Amino acid sequence: MSKKPSLVKGTRDFGPKVMLRRKHILNTIENVYKKYGFLPIETPAMEQLETLTGKYGDEGDQLLFKILNSGDFASGVNAEMLNPSNKVQLLNEISEKGLRYDLTVPLARFVSMNRNDIAFPFKRYQMQPVWRADRPQKGRYREFWQCDADVLGSDSLMNEADLLNIASEVFDLLGPKISIQINNRKILEAIAEKFNLQQHFKSFVILIDKLDKVDFDSLVPEFGNLGLNDAQMSELKELLVSFSFEEASIQTILSHLQGFEKAQIGCNELLELHGYCTQTGIIDKVSINLSLARGLDYYTGCIIEIKATDVKMGSISGGGRYDDLTGVFGFEGVSGVGISFGIDRIYDVMEELKMFEDNLFSEVKAVFCHFDAAGRKQNYQLANKLRQEGISCEVYPDIKKIAKQFEYSDKKGIPMVLMTGETEINTGTISFKNLQTKEQGSIPILQLAEFLNSSIN
Protein backbone atom coordinates (compact mmCIF):
# COMPACT_ATOMS: atom_id res chain seq x y z
CA MET A 1 0.00 0.00 0.00
CA SER A 2 2.65 2.48 1.03
CA LYS A 3 4.63 4.31 -1.62
CA LYS A 4 8.16 5.56 -1.43
CA PRO A 5 7.76 9.28 -0.81
CA SER A 6 9.81 11.89 -2.63
CA LEU A 7 10.60 15.58 -2.54
CA VAL A 8 9.19 18.07 -5.01
CA LYS A 9 11.81 18.67 -7.71
CA GLY A 10 14.12 21.57 -6.89
CA THR A 11 13.29 21.61 -3.17
CA ARG A 12 15.34 20.37 -0.22
CA ASP A 13 15.00 19.04 3.27
CA PHE A 14 17.45 20.48 5.76
CA GLY A 15 18.53 17.97 8.39
CA PRO A 16 19.95 18.99 11.77
CA LYS A 17 23.58 19.36 10.68
CA VAL A 18 22.80 21.59 7.72
CA MET A 19 20.17 23.49 9.70
CA LEU A 20 22.60 24.42 12.48
CA ARG A 21 25.02 25.77 9.89
CA ARG A 22 22.32 27.68 8.04
CA LYS A 23 21.10 29.12 11.34
CA HIS A 24 24.64 30.23 12.11
CA ILE A 25 24.69 32.18 8.83
CA LEU A 26 21.17 33.58 9.25
CA ASN A 27 21.70 34.57 12.89
CA THR A 28 24.96 36.30 12.06
CA ILE A 29 23.31 38.38 9.33
CA GLU A 30 20.31 39.13 11.52
CA ASN A 31 22.42 40.30 14.44
CA VAL A 32 24.37 42.68 12.23
CA TYR A 33 21.17 44.02 10.66
CA LYS A 34 19.83 44.68 14.15
CA LYS A 35 22.99 46.47 15.20
CA TYR A 36 22.41 48.99 12.43
CA GLY A 37 18.83 49.69 13.49
CA PHE A 38 16.99 47.50 11.00
CA LEU A 39 13.75 45.94 12.22
CA PRO A 40 12.16 42.69 11.02
CA ILE A 41 9.00 42.24 9.01
CA GLU A 42 7.46 39.11 7.48
CA THR A 43 4.97 38.89 4.64
CA PRO A 44 2.76 35.95 3.60
CA ALA A 45 4.02 33.20 1.29
CA MET A 46 0.96 33.80 -0.90
CA GLU A 47 0.34 37.09 -2.67
CA GLN A 48 -2.45 38.12 -5.02
CA LEU A 49 -1.34 37.27 -8.55
CA GLU A 50 -2.09 40.87 -9.56
CA THR A 51 0.49 42.00 -6.98
CA LEU A 52 3.16 39.76 -8.50
CA THR A 53 2.39 39.73 -12.21
CA GLY A 54 4.27 42.17 -14.42
CA LYS A 55 6.92 42.98 -11.81
CA TYR A 56 9.59 40.51 -12.96
CA GLY A 57 9.31 40.70 -16.75
CA ASP A 58 7.68 38.10 -18.99
CA GLU A 59 10.14 35.43 -17.95
CA GLY A 60 9.46 36.12 -14.30
CA ASP A 61 5.71 35.81 -14.85
CA GLN A 62 6.33 32.34 -16.28
CA LEU A 63 8.34 31.38 -13.19
CA LEU A 64 5.64 32.33 -10.69
CA PHE A 65 4.14 29.38 -8.83
CA LYS A 66 0.38 29.80 -9.09
CA ILE A 67 -2.08 28.42 -6.56
CA LEU A 68 -5.28 26.78 -7.64
CA ASN A 69 -8.39 28.49 -6.28
CA SER A 70 -10.10 26.57 -3.48
CA GLY A 71 -13.45 24.86 -3.88
CA ASP A 72 -14.99 24.50 -7.33
CA PHE A 73 -12.09 26.10 -9.12
CA ALA A 74 -13.23 24.83 -12.54
CA SER A 75 -16.86 25.88 -12.37
CA GLY A 76 -16.27 28.91 -14.60
CA VAL A 77 -14.10 27.10 -17.14
CA ASN A 78 -15.56 26.32 -20.54
CA ALA A 79 -14.13 24.21 -23.35
CA GLU A 80 -13.07 27.27 -25.30
CA MET A 81 -10.69 28.33 -22.55
CA LEU A 82 -8.77 25.08 -23.11
CA ASN A 83 -7.56 26.45 -26.41
CA PRO A 84 -3.86 27.26 -25.85
CA SER A 85 -4.42 30.78 -27.17
CA ASN A 86 -6.78 31.39 -24.26
CA LYS A 87 -4.25 30.33 -21.63
CA VAL A 88 -4.27 33.67 -19.81
CA GLN A 89 -8.05 33.64 -19.61
CA LEU A 90 -8.02 30.07 -18.25
CA LEU A 91 -5.36 31.01 -15.72
CA ASN A 92 -7.35 34.02 -14.51
CA GLU A 93 -10.35 31.74 -14.07
CA ILE A 94 -8.71 29.08 -11.92
CA SER A 95 -5.93 30.93 -10.04
CA GLU A 96 -5.74 34.27 -8.27
CA LYS A 97 -2.86 33.66 -5.88
CA GLY A 98 0.86 33.03 -6.36
CA LEU A 99 3.87 32.25 -4.20
CA ARG A 100 6.24 35.07 -3.31
CA TYR A 101 8.99 35.36 -5.96
CA ASP A 102 11.27 37.70 -4.02
CA LEU A 103 11.09 39.91 -0.93
CA THR A 104 11.22 43.23 -2.77
CA VAL A 105 7.74 43.35 -4.32
CA PRO A 106 6.15 42.21 -1.01
CA LEU A 107 8.14 44.98 0.70
CA ALA A 108 6.80 47.54 -1.76
CA ARG A 109 3.26 46.26 -1.20
CA PHE A 110 3.72 46.30 2.58
CA VAL A 111 5.06 49.85 2.61
CA SER A 112 2.29 51.08 0.30
CA MET A 113 -0.39 49.52 2.48
CA ASN A 114 1.11 50.64 5.80
CA ARG A 115 2.54 54.01 4.83
CA ASN A 116 0.66 55.84 7.59
CA ASP A 117 1.97 53.63 10.39
CA ILE A 118 5.58 53.40 9.29
CA ALA A 119 8.39 55.52 10.71
CA PHE A 120 10.33 56.75 7.66
CA PRO A 121 13.08 56.23 6.72
CA PHE A 122 11.86 52.66 6.99
CA LYS A 123 14.74 50.32 7.79
CA ARG A 124 13.51 46.78 7.54
CA TYR A 125 15.09 43.38 7.21
CA GLN A 126 13.30 40.28 6.01
CA MET A 127 14.56 36.69 5.90
CA GLN A 128 12.15 34.29 4.26
CA PRO A 129 12.03 31.66 1.52
CA VAL A 130 10.96 32.55 -2.03
CA TRP A 131 9.82 30.25 -4.82
CA ARG A 132 10.59 30.21 -8.54
CA ALA A 133 9.59 27.60 -11.09
CA ASP A 134 13.08 27.70 -12.57
CA ARG A 135 14.71 24.68 -14.15
CA PRO A 136 16.51 23.13 -11.14
CA GLN A 137 20.27 22.71 -11.49
CA LYS A 138 23.38 22.71 -9.31
CA GLY A 139 23.06 25.63 -6.92
CA ARG A 140 19.68 26.71 -8.28
CA TYR A 141 16.59 25.70 -6.35
CA ARG A 142 12.87 26.24 -6.63
CA GLU A 143 12.71 27.17 -2.97
CA PHE A 144 15.49 29.28 -1.51
CA TRP A 145 15.96 31.93 1.16
CA GLN A 146 16.53 35.61 0.68
CA CYS A 147 17.89 37.82 3.47
CA ASP A 148 17.28 41.43 2.57
CA ALA A 149 17.77 44.74 4.29
CA ASP A 150 16.39 47.91 2.72
CA VAL A 151 16.04 51.57 3.65
CA LEU A 152 13.03 53.29 2.12
CA GLY A 153 12.41 57.01 2.16
CA SER A 154 15.91 58.41 2.47
CA ASP A 155 18.25 59.76 -0.24
CA SER A 156 21.28 59.83 2.01
CA LEU A 157 24.34 57.92 0.85
CA MET A 158 24.97 57.10 4.48
CA ASN A 159 22.54 54.27 3.88
CA GLU A 160 24.72 52.86 1.10
CA ALA A 161 27.68 53.17 3.46
CA ASP A 162 25.79 51.33 6.21
CA LEU A 163 24.96 48.49 3.81
CA LEU A 164 28.59 48.15 2.70
CA ASN A 165 29.63 48.16 6.34
CA ILE A 166 27.05 45.52 7.15
CA ALA A 167 28.37 43.28 4.37
CA SER A 168 31.92 43.76 5.57
CA GLU A 169 31.00 42.94 9.15
CA VAL A 170 28.86 39.91 8.24
CA PHE A 171 31.70 38.28 6.33
CA ASP A 172 34.26 39.21 8.97
CA LEU A 173 32.10 37.28 11.41
CA LEU A 174 31.38 34.36 9.08
CA GLY A 175 34.90 33.93 7.75
CA PRO A 176 35.08 34.20 3.94
CA LYS A 177 37.28 37.00 2.60
CA ILE A 178 35.36 39.23 0.21
CA SER A 179 35.79 41.92 -2.37
CA ILE A 180 33.09 44.54 -2.79
CA GLN A 181 32.57 46.08 -6.20
CA ILE A 182 30.49 49.20 -6.65
CA ASN A 183 29.25 51.21 -9.59
CA ASN A 184 26.74 53.95 -10.24
CA ARG A 185 23.99 53.81 -12.81
CA LYS A 186 24.38 57.52 -13.55
CA ILE A 187 28.00 57.04 -14.62
CA LEU A 188 26.91 54.15 -16.83
CA GLU A 189 24.42 56.45 -18.50
CA ALA A 190 27.09 59.12 -19.01
CA ILE A 191 29.34 56.53 -20.67
CA ALA A 192 26.50 55.58 -22.99
CA GLU A 193 25.97 59.26 -23.83
CA LYS A 194 29.64 59.82 -24.51
CA PHE A 195 29.72 56.98 -27.03
CA ASN A 196 26.31 57.80 -28.49
CA LEU A 197 24.80 54.59 -27.24
CA GLN A 198 21.70 56.02 -25.56
CA GLN A 199 19.51 54.21 -28.10
CA HIS A 200 21.29 50.93 -27.44
CA PHE A 201 21.66 51.34 -23.70
CA LYS A 202 20.20 47.96 -22.85
CA SER A 203 22.35 46.05 -25.35
CA PHE A 204 25.39 48.02 -24.22
CA VAL A 205 24.82 47.09 -20.62
CA ILE A 206 24.19 43.42 -21.37
CA LEU A 207 27.52 43.47 -23.21
CA ILE A 208 29.60 45.08 -20.47
CA ASP A 209 28.01 42.80 -17.87
CA LYS A 210 29.80 39.98 -19.71
CA LEU A 211 33.20 41.45 -18.77
CA ASP A 212 32.73 39.61 -15.52
CA LYS A 213 33.52 36.39 -17.40
CA VAL A 214 35.39 37.33 -20.61
CA ASP A 215 38.04 39.96 -21.43
CA PHE A 216 37.35 43.16 -23.31
CA ASP A 217 39.11 42.13 -26.52
CA SER A 218 36.85 39.16 -27.08
CA LEU A 219 33.89 41.56 -27.14
CA VAL A 220 35.42 43.93 -29.71
CA PRO A 221 33.23 42.64 -32.59
CA GLU A 222 30.11 43.20 -30.55
CA PHE A 223 31.14 46.71 -29.50
CA GLY A 224 31.84 47.29 -33.18
CA ASN A 225 28.30 46.27 -34.01
CA LEU A 226 27.07 48.95 -31.62
CA GLY A 227 28.94 51.48 -33.80
CA LEU A 228 32.12 52.11 -31.77
CA ASN A 229 35.31 52.89 -33.68
CA ASP A 230 38.80 51.83 -32.61
CA ALA A 231 39.59 55.03 -30.70
CA GLN A 232 36.31 54.85 -28.83
CA MET A 233 36.87 51.20 -27.97
CA SER A 234 40.31 51.95 -26.71
CA GLU A 235 38.95 54.66 -24.37
CA LEU A 236 36.07 52.46 -23.30
CA LYS A 237 38.53 49.71 -22.45
CA GLU A 238 40.36 52.11 -20.13
CA LEU A 239 37.13 52.89 -18.34
CA LEU A 240 35.79 49.37 -17.93
CA VAL A 241 38.41 48.18 -15.49
CA SER A 242 38.47 47.86 -11.74
CA PHE A 243 39.61 51.03 -9.96
CA SER A 244 40.75 51.17 -6.38
CA PHE A 245 38.22 53.08 -4.29
CA GLU A 246 40.07 56.39 -3.84
CA GLU A 247 39.56 60.01 -4.83
CA ALA A 248 42.16 59.81 -7.60
CA SER A 249 40.22 57.01 -9.32
CA ILE A 250 37.06 59.06 -9.23
CA GLN A 251 38.95 62.02 -10.76
CA THR A 252 40.27 59.75 -13.51
CA ILE A 253 36.77 58.53 -14.32
CA LEU A 254 35.46 62.08 -14.33
CA SER A 255 38.25 63.25 -16.66
CA HIS A 256 37.04 60.71 -19.23
CA LEU A 257 33.49 61.99 -18.92
CA GLN A 258 33.96 65.79 -18.82
CA GLY A 259 30.83 67.71 -19.67
CA PHE A 260 28.37 64.92 -18.95
CA GLU A 261 26.19 66.05 -16.10
CA LYS A 262 25.21 62.53 -15.06
CA ALA A 263 28.88 61.62 -14.69
CA GLN A 264 29.36 64.60 -12.38
CA ILE A 265 26.39 63.54 -10.25
CA GLY A 266 27.44 59.88 -10.16
CA CYS A 267 31.04 60.74 -9.28
CA ASN A 268 29.91 63.11 -6.54
CA GLU A 269 27.91 60.24 -5.08
CA LEU A 270 30.97 58.01 -5.22
CA LEU A 271 32.98 60.74 -3.49
CA GLU A 272 30.45 61.12 -0.70
CA LEU A 273 30.29 57.36 -0.23
CA HIS A 274 34.08 57.33 -0.18
CA GLY A 275 33.98 59.77 2.71
CA TYR A 276 31.75 57.51 4.79
CA CYS A 277 33.79 54.42 3.96
CA THR A 278 36.97 56.21 5.01
CA GLN A 279 35.34 56.82 8.38
CA THR A 280 34.49 53.14 8.82
CA GLY A 281 37.79 51.88 7.43
CA ILE A 282 36.47 49.49 4.80
CA ILE A 283 37.96 51.33 1.80
CA ASP A 284 40.45 48.55 1.06
CA LYS A 285 37.71 45.96 0.53
CA VAL A 286 35.91 48.14 -2.01
CA SER A 287 36.72 48.79 -5.66
CA ILE A 288 34.92 50.69 -8.39
CA ASN A 289 33.99 48.59 -11.40
CA LEU A 290 32.26 50.49 -14.19
CA SER A 291 31.32 47.26 -15.96
CA LEU A 292 29.11 46.19 -13.04
CA ALA A 293 25.46 46.58 -14.02
CA ARG A 294 23.47 43.76 -12.35
CA GLY A 295 19.73 44.20 -12.32
CA LEU A 296 20.00 47.28 -14.45
CA ASP A 297 16.28 47.71 -15.05
CA TYR A 298 15.98 48.13 -11.38
CA TYR A 299 18.85 50.11 -9.93
CA THR A 300 19.01 53.86 -10.46
CA GLY A 301 22.04 54.90 -8.39
CA CYS A 302 24.66 52.92 -6.53
CA ILE A 303 25.13 49.27 -7.57
CA ILE A 304 26.81 46.80 -5.19
CA GLU A 305 28.16 43.30 -5.75
CA ILE A 306 30.12 41.11 -3.37
CA LYS A 307 32.22 38.07 -4.18
CA ALA A 308 34.29 35.66 -2.17
CA THR A 309 37.95 36.10 -3.06
CA ASP A 310 39.08 32.53 -2.30
CA VAL A 311 36.38 30.54 -4.11
CA LYS A 312 35.22 30.58 -7.72
CA MET A 313 31.55 31.40 -7.32
CA GLY A 314 29.19 34.07 -8.59
CA SER A 315 28.19 36.97 -6.38
CA ILE A 316 27.27 36.01 -2.82
CA SER A 317 25.61 39.32 -2.00
CA GLY A 318 24.46 42.35 -3.90
CA GLY A 319 22.20 45.34 -3.94
CA GLY A 320 21.81 48.95 -4.89
CA ARG A 321 19.59 51.99 -4.97
CA TYR A 322 16.26 52.12 -6.76
CA ASP A 323 13.96 55.09 -7.06
CA ASP A 324 10.23 54.81 -6.80
CA LEU A 325 9.92 51.14 -5.86
CA THR A 326 6.46 51.65 -4.41
CA GLY A 327 5.10 53.79 -7.25
CA VAL A 328 3.59 50.75 -8.91
CA PHE A 329 1.34 50.39 -5.85
CA GLY A 330 0.33 54.05 -5.86
CA PHE A 331 2.86 55.38 -3.35
CA GLU A 332 5.11 57.71 -5.34
CA GLY A 333 8.49 59.28 -4.73
CA VAL A 334 9.99 56.87 -2.21
CA SER A 335 13.67 56.20 -2.88
CA GLY A 336 15.16 53.03 -1.53
CA VAL A 337 18.44 51.20 -1.24
CA GLY A 338 18.93 47.59 -0.28
CA ILE A 339 21.23 44.63 0.05
CA SER A 340 20.58 40.91 -0.15
CA PHE A 341 22.64 37.96 1.06
CA GLY A 342 22.57 34.71 -0.91
CA ILE A 343 22.45 32.14 1.86
CA ASP A 344 22.86 29.07 -0.33
CA ARG A 345 25.98 30.38 -2.02
CA ILE A 346 27.46 31.63 1.24
CA TYR A 347 26.87 28.15 2.65
CA ASP A 348 28.66 26.57 -0.31
CA VAL A 349 31.59 29.00 -0.02
CA MET A 350 31.96 28.31 3.69
CA GLU A 351 31.77 24.58 3.15
CA GLU A 352 34.40 24.70 0.42
CA LEU A 353 36.67 26.72 2.70
CA LYS A 354 35.96 24.33 5.61
CA MET A 355 34.75 27.20 7.75
CA PHE A 356 32.04 25.39 9.66
CA GLU A 357 33.27 24.50 13.10
CA ASP A 358 32.37 21.01 14.20
CA ASN A 359 30.66 22.19 17.33
CA LEU A 360 28.09 23.86 15.14
CA PHE A 361 26.65 20.40 14.80
CA SER A 362 25.18 20.26 18.24
CA GLU A 363 24.86 22.54 21.23
CA VAL A 364 24.04 19.56 23.44
CA LYS A 365 26.78 19.17 26.04
CA ALA A 366 26.30 15.52 26.99
CA VAL A 367 24.18 12.40 26.71
CA PHE A 368 23.40 10.53 29.92
CA CYS A 369 23.64 6.74 29.56
CA HIS A 370 22.67 3.96 31.94
CA PHE A 371 22.47 0.21 32.42
CA ASP A 372 19.04 -0.06 34.06
CA ALA A 373 16.00 1.85 35.29
CA ALA A 374 17.74 2.93 38.50
CA GLY A 375 20.57 4.54 36.57
CA ARG A 376 18.11 6.19 34.22
CA LYS A 377 16.16 7.63 37.13
CA GLN A 378 19.30 9.09 38.66
CA ASN A 379 20.33 10.47 35.27
CA TYR A 380 16.97 12.11 34.79
CA GLN A 381 17.40 13.91 38.09
CA LEU A 382 20.90 15.09 37.16
CA ALA A 383 19.87 16.16 33.67
CA ASN A 384 17.05 18.34 34.90
CA LYS A 385 19.37 19.98 37.42
CA LEU A 386 21.78 20.82 34.61
CA ARG A 387 18.97 22.21 32.49
CA GLN A 388 17.94 24.47 35.35
CA GLU A 389 21.44 25.89 35.10
CA GLY A 390 20.97 26.43 31.37
CA ILE A 391 23.06 23.47 30.23
CA SER A 392 21.71 21.59 27.24
CA CYS A 393 21.80 17.83 27.73
CA GLU A 394 19.72 14.72 27.25
CA VAL A 395 19.07 11.34 28.81
CA TYR A 396 18.97 8.34 26.51
CA PRO A 397 15.31 7.47 27.02
CA ASP A 398 15.30 3.68 26.64
CA ILE A 399 17.04 0.85 28.46
CA LYS A 400 19.37 -0.50 25.79
CA LYS A 401 22.92 -1.77 25.44
CA ILE A 402 25.45 0.88 26.39
CA ALA A 403 27.13 0.57 22.99
CA LYS A 404 23.85 1.54 21.35
CA GLN A 405 23.63 4.59 23.59
CA PHE A 406 27.20 5.64 22.75
CA GLU A 407 26.46 5.19 19.08
CA TYR A 408 23.49 7.53 19.41
CA SER A 409 25.61 10.20 21.04
CA ASP A 410 28.36 9.84 18.48
CA LYS A 411 25.98 9.93 15.52
CA LYS A 412 24.37 13.06 16.90
CA GLY A 413 27.76 14.73 17.18
CA ILE A 414 27.84 14.90 20.98
CA PRO A 415 31.26 13.68 22.13
CA MET A 416 30.60 13.61 25.87
CA VAL A 417 28.75 10.61 27.32
CA LEU A 418 27.99 10.28 31.02
CA MET A 419 27.25 6.92 32.67
CA THR A 420 25.40 6.10 35.85
CA GLY A 421 25.52 2.52 37.18
CA GLU A 422 25.25 0.98 40.62
CA THR A 423 28.76 2.03 41.67
CA GLU A 424 28.17 5.60 40.61
CA ILE A 425 24.89 5.79 42.51
CA ASN A 426 26.50 4.39 45.66
CA THR A 427 29.45 6.75 45.54
CA GLY A 428 27.69 9.93 44.39
CA THR A 429 29.73 10.04 41.21
CA ILE A 430 29.21 9.80 37.49
CA SER A 431 31.52 8.28 34.89
CA PHE A 432 32.34 10.17 31.74
CA LYS A 433 33.90 9.38 28.39
CA ASN A 434 34.78 11.78 25.62
CA LEU A 435 34.15 9.78 22.46
CA GLN A 436 36.45 12.05 20.48
CA THR A 437 39.49 12.34 22.74
CA LYS A 438 38.86 8.95 24.40
CA GLU A 439 39.51 10.66 27.73
CA GLN A 440 37.53 9.02 30.52
CA GLY A 441 37.15 9.05 34.26
CA SER A 442 34.77 9.69 37.09
CA ILE A 443 33.71 12.82 38.96
CA PRO A 444 31.47 13.69 41.91
CA ILE A 445 27.99 14.56 40.68
CA LEU A 446 28.21 17.87 42.52
CA GLN A 447 30.95 18.94 40.12
CA LEU A 448 29.12 17.88 36.98
CA ALA A 449 27.88 21.28 35.85
CA GLU A 450 31.30 22.84 36.33
CA PHE A 451 32.93 19.92 34.54
CA LEU A 452 30.69 20.23 31.50
CA ASN A 453 30.99 23.99 31.32
CA SER A 454 34.77 23.76 31.34
CA SER A 455 35.09 20.76 29.00
CA ILE A 456 35.57 21.55 25.33
CA ASN A 457 32.62 20.62 23.11
307-366: contacts with a copy of itself (CB under 8 A)? 327-330, 362-364
CA distance 355 to 315: 18
Q: Which of 357, 398, 422, 439 is close enough to bind a copy of itself by CB under 8 A?
A: 398
User: In 179-292, which ranges are continuous DSSP H helix?
Assistant: 185-194, 201-209, 220-225, 230-239, 247-256, 261-280
Minimum Å distance from CB 204 to a copy of itself?
28
**Any idea what DSSP says for residue 229?**
-
DSSP letters spanning 314-342: S-SEEEEEES-TTGGGT--S--EEEEEE-
Which residues, numbered 160-189, are part of the site for a copy of itself (CB under 8 A)? 161-162, 165, 169
Closer of 65 and 223 to a copy of itself (Cβ): 65
Q: Which residues, 6+ apart, have CB-to-CB distance to 127 below 8 Å? A: 26, 29, 30, 40, 145, 146, 147, 148
**61 touches a copy of itself by CB under 8 A:** no
In sequence order, the β-bridge partners of residue 150 are 124, 338
DSSP assignment of 163-200, as one string?
A: HHHHHHHHHHHH---EEEEEEEHHHHHHHHHHTT-GGG
Q: Which is nearer to a copy of itself, 291 or 300 (CB)?
A: 300
Q: How far apart are CA 455 and CA 457, in angstroms?
A: 6
Site string for a copy of itself, 266-285 (x = CB under 8 A): ---------xx--xx-----
Q: What is the size of the binding site for a copy of itself (CB under 8 A)?
A: 111
State which residue, 60 or 242, has the beta carbon closest to a copy of itself: 60
Instruction: Tell me whether the omega of the peptide bond preceding residue 106 falls within 30 degrees of 0, making it cis.
Output: no
| Rounded least distance, CB 133 to a copy of itself, Å | 4
Q: Which of residues 194-253 bind a copy of itself (CB under 8 A)?
A: none
| Pattern 103-142, a copy of itself, x by CB under 8 A | ------xx-xxx--xxxxx-xx----x-x-x--------x
The single residue among 61, 102, 143, 348 that binds a copy of itself, judged by CB under 8 A, is 143
Q: CB of 14: closest distance to a copy of itself in angstroms?
A: 5
Contact pick of 397, 428, 438, 454 for a copy of itself (by CB under 8 A): 397
Nearest C-alpha neighbor of 198 from the set 262, 245, 152: 262
Instruction: With CA atoms as reference, report the closest residue to 158 among 323, 32, 272.
Output: 272
302 lines the binding site for a copy of itself (CB under 8 A) = no
Which of 41, 240, 265, 402 touches a copy of itself (CB under 8 A)? 41
